[in-house]
Structure 1
Amino acid sequence: MHSNPAFDDAGRREHLYAGDVMVYGATPATLALVQFTRELVEEAFGALDPQTAQDEMPVEEFAALLADLKPRFIHHPRCKEILPQILAERGCDPERTYFDVPRLRTSTSDGYLTTGIAYAFHPHRDTWYSAPMSQTNWWMPVYPVTADNVMAFHPKYMTQGVRNSSRNYDYAEWNRVSRFNAASQIGKDTREQPKPEEPVELDPQVRLVPEVGGMMVFSGNQLHSSVPNTSGRTRYSIDFRVVDLDDVEAGRGSRNVDSECSGTTLRDFRRCSDLAPMPEELAERYDGRNVVDVPVGA
């Protein structure tokens, strides 16, 4: 674990691919994103405090509100302006760095809503969901968080495979069938998602608590999960994914110990400098089924 490390971007990626996790303090650009996000969230909830609104709203009404709010945030042009600024503050080359749209995540307290639009993630790797092994994840809280409502990392599995159902996941099929019906998944989530097929040791685990506007950065191949929220408040956070063009071209990244999904998320990424898409010829290289580098459990 590194706090405000001085690595350049290439050094940071090397450490992240090996399983290190980094925490950075707030910056002008991250605080600008926090402010913008709070404005959208608080406008949506009106007179209610977004962190405690779950105590005053029927769960169906809460889910419907999020179903409107989250896409507005994801596709708002202001996000595409701020994210390149955040990455520039961290030394990323705007001509070689690509990001996908940021997601607004919610984790409600005490099991109020844990499916669909507010899905509580089981232990998983983003690479089970067709992310490239060179993907890094950037995560920040919108309101203050505690150890009772963040995420948990399970670092022993960075080099140890877990038998899982990622072989059944294809990103293009997920986009066609499952992505757009999240709001209807209340009570029980019936969408097919990659999950462990053997017990996962959740302890020891690592929980980090960044300040508002602070950023956690970790590999998309890092096994992580949602912490059961017992804080009494809904947690709001932002995350987005980043890849470096040189690493995509060279096939650099974390070692694949258990991912067998097919397809790729690379077509979702846009270049920081001008929002140009990932070159199609590169995305095509990643369209096939992932091949595990080592036997699962090795």
Structure 2
Amino acid sequence: MSSVFSNAVLDDDTRRGLLFQGEVFVYSATPASLALTGFARELIAEAFGDRDPETAQHEMEVGAFAALLAELKPRFIHHPRCRELLPALLAEMGCDPDRTYFDVPRLRTSTSGDYLTTGISYAFHPHRDCWYSAPFNQVNWWIPVFGIVPENAMAFHPRYFDRPVLNGSARYDYAEWNRTSRRTAARHIGTDTRDQPKPEEPIELDPQIRVVPEAGGMLVFSGAQFHSTVPNTSGRTRFSIDFRTVHLDDVRARRGAPNVDAACTGTTLRDFVRCSDLAAMPEELALDYEKRALDNPLRTAPA
């Protein structure tokens, strides 16, 4: 990673090629991104009622806060309106609706201090999405719902984009995670006992890059980027949306960022649907990626 492109006027093929090389893109808010964050704000306001959602953590017992998020987040994630808003946003950003596939948008929270950093409001340690069975042609889109500051943003750790990190991804299988761990998130308050891929060697977090888009602005980066949740010291809960895309031609050609250290099995490809008609990713591609994950030369026997 060497550059952050701001409002770059590039076609999507060129942009993806640069993303796979470790570059990062940031875009100002657009009508479609504001429609998405506006919808999220509506659901957030309904859930929190008279409370300010960014400061409610200072008034609510942590268990009640976690229970509220356990209802709010799935409501947003699976709402039919999101499947209308995301294709519109991606078309606005120059993505081919017949070749671009997206997964569900997640509504994320990062509370201030140590109030709630596990389970339903998990504070992500430094990681690559590709440790979690994401394809190396995955593009991540990250959008703040409200204004953010460097103290509650996310961070990139650029020295590690093409540098291996000892990690626990060899113990991770996506299908097994869905079967045993995903649905238990809201139960993990205070500690999170789920085994997730993490660095297993000391990591130098600096130099790091924190990009601070406006509310509704978009941060776009490769799923292979080494990134983390910033320890939130802002005094306010950060709300953000993230989702992922893949381009069918990249998936077929296995074109993407380099794999320097991921040894997980399974694939997230079945989570993606086509922008134009919500058709599923072709099953033969998911099966091929699963087979290739098992044959990954970086893979070692789980500890």
TM range (shorter): over 0.9
- The answer to whether the aligner puts 1:119 opposite 2:122 as a matched pair is yes
CA contact (8 A) 1:171 1:262 kept: yes
Unaligned runs of 5+ in 1: none
Alignment of 1:1-298 (within 5 A): 1-288=4-291, 289=293, 291=296
SS at match of 1:77: coil
Deviation at 1:110, TM superposition (A): 1.0
SS at match of 2:150: coil
Equivalenced residues, count: 295
CA contact (8 A) 1:162 1:196 kept: yes
Aligned AA (1:246): D
Partners of 1:293 and 1:58 in 2: how far apart? 44
Deviating above 4 A after TM superposition, structure 1's stretches of 4 or more consecutive aligned residues are none
Q: What percent identity do the matched residue pairs reach?
A: 68
CA displacement, residues 234-288 of structure 1 (integer Å, 9 cap, x when unaligned): 0000000000000000000000000000000000000000000000011111113
CA displacement, residues 51-82 of structure 1 (integer Å, 9 cap, x when unaligned): 00000000000000000000000000000000
With the length of structure 2 as denominator, give the TM-score of the two structures: 0.96
SS at match of 1:225: strand
Alignment root-mean-square deviation, CA: 1.2
Deviation at 1:292, TM superposition (A): 5.4
Partners of 2:208 and 2:236 in 1: how far apart? 22
CA displacement, residues 19-63 of structure 1 (integer Å, 9 cap, x when unaligned): 000000110000001110000001000110000000000000000
Partners of 2:64 and 2:109 in 1: how far apart? 15
Unaligned runs of 5+ in 2: none
Partners of 1:236 and 1:48 in 2: how far apart? 15
Deviation at 1:200, TM superposition (A): 1.0
Partners of 1:73 and 1:292 in 2: how far apart? 39
Partners of 2:228 and 2:38 in 1: how far apart? 27
CA contact (8 A) 1:258 1:292 kept: no
Partners of 2:152 and 2:246 in 1: how far apart? 27
Partners of 1:47 and 1:167 in 2: how far apart? 46
Partners of 2:32 and 2:53 in 1: how far apart? 23
Aligned AA (1:2): F
CA contact (8 A) 2:6 2:27 kept: yes
Q: CA 1:33/1:232 → structure 2, altered by over 3 Å: closer, same or farther? A: same
SS at match of 1:148: helix
With the length of structure 1 as denominator, give the TM-score of the two structures: 0.97
